[in-house]
Amino acid sequence: MIFTHIPMEAMPELVDETLASGRTYQTPDGNRYPSITTVLKILSDEGIKAWRDRVGKEESSKVLHQASVRGTKVHELAERYINNDPKWDRGAMPINLFTFNGLRSILDSRVNNIMAQEVPLYSDKLKIAGRVDLIAEFDGELTIIDFKTARKAKKEDWVIGYRLQASFYAAAFYERTGIPIRKYAVLISPDGAEPQVFAGNTYENIKQLCDVRREYYNQYGI
Q: Is the dihedral of CA 141, 71, 130, 6 positive or negative?
A: negative
The Cα 75–Cα 11 span in angstroms is 20
Name residue 146's amino acid: D
The Cα 89–Cα 111 span in angstroms is 19
pTM of the shown model = 0.87
Question: What pLDDT sits at residue 152?
Answer: 86
The Cα 78–Cα 106 span in angstroms is 11
37-58 confidence digits (pLDDT tens): 999 988 764 433 443 344 454 5
130-180 confidence digits (pLDDT tens): 999 999 999 999 999 999 988 888 888 888 899 999 999 999 999 999 999
Mean per-residue pLDDT, 21-49: 82
Which domains does the chain show, CATH number per domain? Answer: 22-219 (3.90.320)
DSSP state string for 51-67: HHHHH-HHHHHHHHHHH
DSSP state string for 32-58: EEEBHHHHHGGGTHHHHHHHHHHH-HH
